A and B are shown apart, each in its own frame.
Chain A
Amino acid sequence: MIPLIAQVSADGLQVEPGWYMALAAVLFAIGATGLLLRRNALVMFMSIELMLNAVNLTFVAVDSGLGSLEGQISVLFVMVVAAAEVTVGLAIIVAVFRKRATASVDELSGLKG
């Protein structure tokens, strides 16, 4: 049996809530995989953003199902913090790149014990 993805109601096309979760899980897994496998700091950053947004998706999906607002507010916070983090992170990456002519995190191991 083909699982039901969406159904038509009086308000128009409605997506089943479980699929939002599935999509978020897939996005999160892609992000985590990218983080673990890629060496380039820029790409790792993009992976982290992907993971963050996967979480954001679960927040809004669950929230709209429950009819509450807390999760949606949390999403705004996550986005703001992520934006701030990106500016700092990108600046660091650019500085490191200028200094070392590489963005590979494997070579940045000067602080290892």
Chain B
Amino acid sequence: MDTLIFLIVALPLAGFLALLAFGKRIGEPFAGYIASATVGGSFVLAAISAVDFFRGIEHGRTVELFEWISSLGLNATFLWDPLSAMMTLVVTGVGALIHIYSIGYMHGDPRYGRFFTYLNLFITSMLLLVLGANFGVLFIGWELVGLSSYLLISFWFEKPSAAAAGKKAFVVNRIGDFGFLIALMLIFAKFGSLDFGYVFEAIHENAAIISVGTATAITLLLLVGAAGKSAQLPLYVWLPDAMEGPTPVSALIHAATMVTAGVYMVARTGVLFELAPVSQGVVATVGALTALFAATIAIGQRDIKRVLAYSTISQLGYMFMGVGVLGLVGGVFHLVTHAFFKALLFLGAGSVIHAMAGEQDMAKMGGLRKKVPVTFWTMLIAWIAISGIPPFSGFWSKDEILAIVFNRGGGYYVLWAVGILTAGLTAFYMSRMMFLTFWGAPRWDEGVTPHESPPSMTLPLVALAGLSAVGGFINTPWRPALEHFLEPAFELVHQTHLPAPGTQWVLAIVSVGVGIAGILVAYRRYVARDTQLETGGVWDTLLAGYHVDDLYGRTIVAPGKTASEVLAFTADAKVVDGAVNGVGGLVKAVGDQFSKLQTGLVRSYGVGILVGAVAVLVWLLAAGGGVF
């Protein structure tokens, strides 16, 4: 059985290596088939390995591959427990669907093979991240997903904007990784180990082993890392630009899997967060603010993918709220359902873009309902799911988070209110996107003839639509199956639970009401009155994302550039190089003087030798032979 766990990672890795070596020769479409098959195979293996968790007869185990850094006691070890199993299933399951979709989407791309090489690299890295049994393996996966994200965002690097977006994502993620790395050092300094099991057991046995201050410092630094990877305030700026990548990448990496790594990490280290109430509040507040902030920006976007990008940031905010208040199951639950409906929305958007011959501006869409029926109906399901309308999946997970936040009471009531407000905004901006795209009169450019996508693209849509529709039933208040499933992984954490059933009903009715209100307002505005895309005033501010990029550009990037220029062209070129060249110049000047001794007149050298020899002789004679 342990071999299976190893194979889950080894399969996509083998696919990556094979495509790396022969991807170009294999070419279209077999490179896509190979990549999809390896990820699909991983999914099957993961499902087989997870059977014992479903039956409730196993609580998790570690699989050691080899000794890695013995001086740190760090080994290449995989942890196979319900949490990592669930993450593996989501990553490989959604990943396989997106691989299949890409076979059609990337049709005709000159670097077809390389695209699937990168996708397999990403899946491998992500599996390392979720399967690592210690912070070391987690960190390797963490960095590798950052790398593959960079490679895939700037996949069409001929476009300067895509190259810049990849660079931005990488640099912003580095800021987060910096915090994460310091957190790991603190953990190692405190516990002498980076092993999950060891650290969490040590805290479980004696919580006084670590002071509240240290725990707070560690968890806040972990949050910095998580905020970078999961695009939370203030490090979210890379995600909207990441939409420059091919749409399957946006769906796979920047909606369903990689960006949830931060949520996974906070859930995994829930034991540490439990010790630091301040950090819990900070995580939940960051999540709530991000959710609201990004949702308002999403309202003003014109590019269909940017709407979804800001929506992703906003939904990740919900997940952070959930794990922040120690509703770990709620946060992870939303991670799963969000992976379904957001991947579906992105793939649907990709299908629309495909149909519109590359057009992403919603101002030039409209009336696509009849033209791309499969895309329309599947996206409709995702739309209702994200808007929080029961019984679709988004309702169950979002409301579980909101109910848990509400149950914490005190200042968390404010966060709950923010969450409810965001729910209404979410329903509104998603409806706006749907209405502008599929309803109303066509506003297409001339020569555009929308057509439905090939089956390799629509089949994943249908599969994801099914999951988005019923995915919520894995964890309902009456039948909390996911909670039972994850119990062994979170047994050391005292989680916040749902409020009493009566309160739950009230909260659910409020949130559904807000969601329906959001949809109705959008309907009146964009369908009944046929409002076109707005411009001017506050809309321009929203479109520009509150000019946060400009703000960062002026306050951080520009001073950073100035500092770099001073260091490069003054400190380095003048001072450091000056010192080095000065030493060289001095030696040369001295040498120039001495070189005058070399007259080129051989006989004068002879005189020199003779005089020298005579001098030595005289000295020897003067010493009276005593020198010998």
* A contact residues vs B (CB 8 Å cutoff): 32, 35-37, 39, 44, 105-106, 108-113
Task: Please give, as numbers and ranges, the residues of chain B lying within 8 Å of A36 by CB-CB distance.
Answer: 603, 606-607, 610
Q: Chain B contact residues: over half helix, strand or loop, or mixed?
A: helix
* A interface footprint on B576-611 (CB within 8 Å = 1, 0 otherwise): 000000000000000010111111111100110010
Q: Which of chain A's residues has its CB closest to B597's CB?
A: A113
Residue A110 contacts which of B597, B600, B606 (CB distance < 8 angstroms)? B600
B side interface size, CB within 8 A: 14
Q: List 7 A-B contacts (CB under 8 A).
A: A35-B606, A36-B607, A39-B603, A105-B602, A111-B598, A112-B599, A113-B599
Given the known interface contacts A113-B595, A113-B596, A113-B597, the answer about A32 and B602 at a Cβ–Cβ threshold of 8 Å is no
Q: Which of chain A's residues has its CB closest to B599's CB?
A: A112
User: B607, A112: Cβ atoms under 8 Å?
Assistant: no
Task: Please give, as numbers and ranges, the residues of chain A lying within 8 Å of B601 by CB-CB distance.
Answer: 105-106, 109, 112
Which 5 residue pairs spanning A and B have beta carbons closest together?
Answer: A109-B600, A113-B595, A112-B600, A113-B598, A105-B602
* A interface footprint on B182-220 (CB within 8 Å = 1, 0 otherwise): 000000000000000000000000000000000000000
Q: Which of chain A's residues has its CB closest to B598's CB?
A: A113
User: A108, B610: Cβ atoms under 8 Å?
Assistant: no
Q: How far is the CB of A25 from chain B (nearest CB, A)?
A: 12
User: A108, B603: Cβ atoms under 8 Å?
Assistant: no
Within 8 A of A (CB), among B527-568: none
* B contact residues vs A (CB 8 Å cutoff): 592, 594-603, 606-607, 610
Q: Which of chain A's residues has its CB closest to B603's CB?
A: A36
Residue A32 contacts which of B597, B598, B610 (CB distance < 8 angstroms)? B610
Q: How far is the CB of B120 from chain A (nearest CB, A)?
A: 64
- Report the bound CA distance from A64 to B575 in whole Å: 70
- Report the bound CA distance from A110 to B602 in whole Å: 11
Beyond known contacts A32-B610, A109-B600, A111-B598: 20 more, CB 8 A cutoff: A32-B606, A35-B603, A36-B610, A37-B603, A39-B603, A44-B602, A105-B601, A105-B602, A105-B603, A106-B601, A106-B603, A108-B600, A109-B601, A111-B600, A112-B599, A112-B600, A112-B601, A113-B594, A113-B596, A113-B597
Task: Please give, as numbers and ranges, the residues of chain A lying within 8 Å of B598 by CB-CB distance.
Answer: 111-113
- Report the bound CA distance from A30 to B602 in whole Å: 18
Task: Please give, as numbers and ranges, the residues of chain A lying within 8 Å of B606 by CB-CB distance.
Answer: 32, 35-36
Task: Please give, as numbers and ranges, the residues of chain B lying within 8 Å of A44 by CB-CB distance.
Answer: 602
- Report the bound CA distance from A75 to B607 in whole Å: 26
Task: Please give, as numbers and ranges, the residues of chain A lying within 8 Å of B602 by CB-CB distance.
Answer: 44, 105-106, 108
Q: How far is the CB of A37 from chain B (nearest CB, A)?
A: 8
Q: How far is the CB of B608 from chain A (nearest CB, A)?
A: 11
Q: How far is the CB of B595 from chain A (nearest CB, A)?
A: 3
Q: How far is the CB of B621 from chain A (nearest CB, A)?
A: 14
Q: Which of chain B's residues has its CB closest to A109's CB?
A: B600
Q: How far is the CB of A20 from chain B (nearest CB, A)?
A: 19
- Report the bound CA distance from A51 to B595 in whole Å: 29
- Report the bound CA distance from A89 to B157 in whole Å: 65
Instruction: Count chain B CB atoms within 10 A of each CB in A35, A106, A111, A113 and give the residue with the most.
Output: A113
- Report the bound CA distance from A108 to B598 in whole Å: 13
Task: Please give, as numbers and ranges, the residues of chain A lying within 8 Å of B607 by CB-CB distance.
Answer: 36
Q: How far is the CB of B544 from chain A (nearest CB, A)?
A: 69
- Report the bound CA distance from A112 to B605 in whole Å: 12
Task: Please give, as numbers and ranges, the residues of chain B lying within 8 Å of A108 by CB-CB distance.
Answer: 600, 602
Task: Please give, as numbers and ranges, the residues of chain B lying within 8 Å of A32 by CB-CB distance.
Answer: 606, 610
